[in-house]
Every structure is written in structure tokens, then in C-alpha cells.
A and B are shown apart, each in its own frame.
Chain A
Amino acid sequence: MIIFQGETHLSNVRLGGPVTAENSSTIVWATDTFMESFELEAGVSQSVHFALVEIANDLELGGGSFFQQVTLTNVTLNSGNLIVNGTFEYGFMADAVTVRQGSANFTGLENFNLGLTVIQPTDVIFDDCHRGKVDLLCFESLQHGLRIEDSSDNRFSGQIINAGQQIDDTYDGIFVLGDSNRNRTEFTVTYTGAGNQMRYGANLSAATVDNHVEASVLTGSGATGNFNDAGTGTVLTDDHIV
């Protein structure tokens, strides 16, 4: 175990064991660094800035607490989970983050900006996330390509390809549920014929209100249907949905 308790600068470093940042004053700056895993424990006033960082297993930021700032730039997770759970005083920014074969789960974020590529993930979940901007490419997710739950006033865009690989006709390309309102989604959802098929290209549950599905090319995506809207006040802007 490698433990950082204060400000730490890493440059061209290989950390071959679990790394924990555990003290409330921890600030970790890492550049061109390889880690086995990294966990920022629950606390306050902690910051993480990663650039050109590769992580073999989990990258876990949070525990539901209050953090100062996290920026991830050109970060790759090779087989672990990206778990972000917390409130960030100066926002959460991630650009060019790649997750291969793990989950990408975000909880409790506000005012965030995220550029994310997920390759064969288990799932991609935004839960209780608000006022964020997400640019996502999701390829061959085992479950939903993008699950938006209890999240409002976000803008999601990107590509979802061959989601729902785990079980045929069960998972959706985009699944919006819970108290998720006024989200704007702009996606191309496609099924290329490889493996199991999605249930719906996009599926809005009854609890959703005033969401805007824009310019989404869903044709041929879902086994049950391309689009299912059980929500209230959903606005559609495209003629390629069905």
C-alpha cells in the first residue's frame, strides 16, 4: 500500500500497488504515471490532477464527500472501474478518459464536464448528477449504453454502439429513469448485428419529465423497438428515430 497524506507530485513514476490518498489536505499531481489502482478517500479539500496516467485497476474518487477539484486528462483504465462519487467545489473535469472493460459510474456530481470513451464496459451510470456536459463514446456495453437516473439539466451527446451485449432484448442504448428531468440527449445509437441486441435504442421511463431527445439516429437499434417514451413532455427532434 502506498499512502499519500499531503501534496505529492509524481512524474514518470510507476506505482505497482494500491495507492490511497487519505488525508483531508491531500493534493496529488501525477504526470506520465502508471498506477495499479488509486483511491481518493472520503474527505474535504482534496484535489487530484492526473495527466497522461494509466491505471491497471480501479480509479475511485469519493465516498460521497466534498472535494475541492478533480481534473483527469488523458487517463486510461485498462480493466478497472471508474467510480466517482462526491461533490466537487470547483467542478469535476475529465477529458480523454478511456475505460476498458470496467464500469464507469458517476454519483452526486454537479457542474461537471466529461469526455469519456468506454470500451466493452459493464455499464455507464449517471446517478444524481446535475448540470453536466458529457461527450460519450460507448462501444459494446454489457448492460445499458448510458443509464441516467435521478439526474437533471444535463447535456449528453455521442455514440452508443451495440449496447446490451450481456442478454438479448434486455438493456437499452439510453435508459432514462427515476426523477430525471430536462436532460438533452443527442446520440447516434446503432446496432451493427454483432452479438445480442438492445431492447430499445432509447427508453424514457414514466417518471421522466421534459427531456429532449435530439437528432438521435436509432433506426434498427432495438429488438423491442427503436424508441420508447413513457415520460411526460418529452420533445423529439429528428426523423430517424423510427
Chain B
Amino acid sequence: MKPPRVTGEPTAVIADHVNRLIRKFEYPDSDTIPLNPILGGGGGAPTVVIATPGSSGFSQGRADFVLGLDLSPGGFQILLNGFTGLRARILFTEGDFAIDTHIDVPTGIDFEGAGRRASRLTWGADPDITFAGDNGLRNIALIEVAT
């Protein structure tokens, strides 16, 4: 059963959530460690599901975080940093994800969306997003918008 979604975004809360996901990756047979049920159980890279307030209720209900509600863009960076040194996947539901800050995506982190017209990550002109390497982008849009 999926545990309640993490609320609030203090660094410690996000870090704790990441740690639990990583532990699930390392000990896939444990039933005491939460894993998003959308992804099935056991094995594979740690995956975080992120929705936005514009996403469907279904998507929000099953996401680990809702960007803009319980995760700020700064919190998103903390989340990414939590997977440094690991292979991990950030799965974006449908919707527009406004990330108006500089983001560094560590090595080995993949972004995957619900389609390049369905999942849109937007930035202002000045902040940028940097992919450190060994990154995958699939079925997603990264759009620079006028601010």
C-alpha cells in the first residue's frame, strides 16, 4: 500500500524521502519501505513521481511530490542532489512544471514525461538547466519562456 505523500519541504523531509526510495532500491523485498505503486515493486532504479497542481487528481494522488504544493523549485534541486552518485529516474506526470530557478541535474539522473506535449518543464530566460552527463530525456518538453 502506498504511504501518505510527503508533505512540507524542509530539506530533511525531502532527504528522508529520497533515502527511503534508495533503501527500497537496495532492499527490494522489504515491505516496510514505501515505493510508488505506479511503478510496481522491487528492483529497478529509484524513481520519483512528480505532479503539478494542474495535473489530474489521479496523477496528484499517486505522485510523491506536487511541485508548487509540497515541493518548491529549490526543493526540487535538493531532491536531485539526494540521488547524486546513483542511477535514478524523475517521472513527471502530465502538466506544466514551472521551475524558475537554476537547476543542476547530477550525473545518472533521467527525466521522463508523459509526452513532449503533455509534460512541460518551463524556465525563465535567465535561469538554466545543466545536465552533468549520462542523462536521459524521454517524452518530455523543456521550454524557455519569456518572463
Q: Which residues of A contact B (CB under 8 A)?
A: 1-18, 23, 25-26, 34, 36
Contact = CB atoms under 8 A, between A and B. Distances in A.
A68 to B, nearest CB: 15
Contacts of B138: 9-13
Contact of B133 (A2, A25, A34): A25
A8 B142 CA distance: 14
A14 B142 contact: yes
Contacts of B143: 14-17
A30 to B, nearest CB: 9
B130 interface: yes
Interface stretch (B21-29, B43-51, B70-78, B115-123): B115-123
B137 A8 contact: yes
Given A1-B128, A14-B142, A26-B133, 10 more contacts: A2-B142, A4-B133, A7-B135, A10-B138, A11-B137, A12-B138, A13-B141, A14-B120, A14-B140, A16-B141
User: Most chain-A CB neighbours within 10 Å: which of B117, B141, B142?
Assistant: B142
A18 to B, nearest CB: 7
A5 B116 contact: no
Interface string B93-127: 00000000000000100000001110010010100
Contacts of A9: 135-138
B13 interface: no
* A10, A17, A23: residue with the most chain B Cβ atoms closer than 10 Å: A17
A92 B109 CA distance: 30
B141 A14 contact: yes
| Chain B contact patch, size range | 20 to 34
A48 to B, nearest CB: 15
A41 to B, nearest CB: 13
B101 to A, nearest CB: 13
Contact of A8 (B115, B117, B135): B135
B146 to A, nearest CB: 11
Given A12-B139, A14-B142, A3 B129 contact: yes
B144 interface: yes
A13 B132 contact: no
Give the 4 A-B residue pairs with the shortest CB-CB distance, closest first: A6-B133, A17-B144, A16-B143, A14-B141
A17 B129 CA distance: 11
A8 B139 contact: no
A13 B139 contact: yes
A16 B146 CA distance: 11
B128 A6 contact: no
B97 to A, nearest CB: 13
B131 A8 contact: yes
A11 B113 CA distance: 11
Contact of A5 (B125, B132, B141): B132
Nearest to A20: B128
Contacts of A4: 130-131, 133, 135
A13 B131 CA distance: 15
A169 B129 CA distance: 49
B42 to A, nearest CB: 25
A74 B123 CA distance: 29
Nearest to A15: B142
B139 A2 contact: no
A4 B139 CA distance: 17
B123 to A, nearest CB: 7
B135 A12 contact: no
Given A1-B128, A6-B133, A8-B133, A14 B117 contact: yes
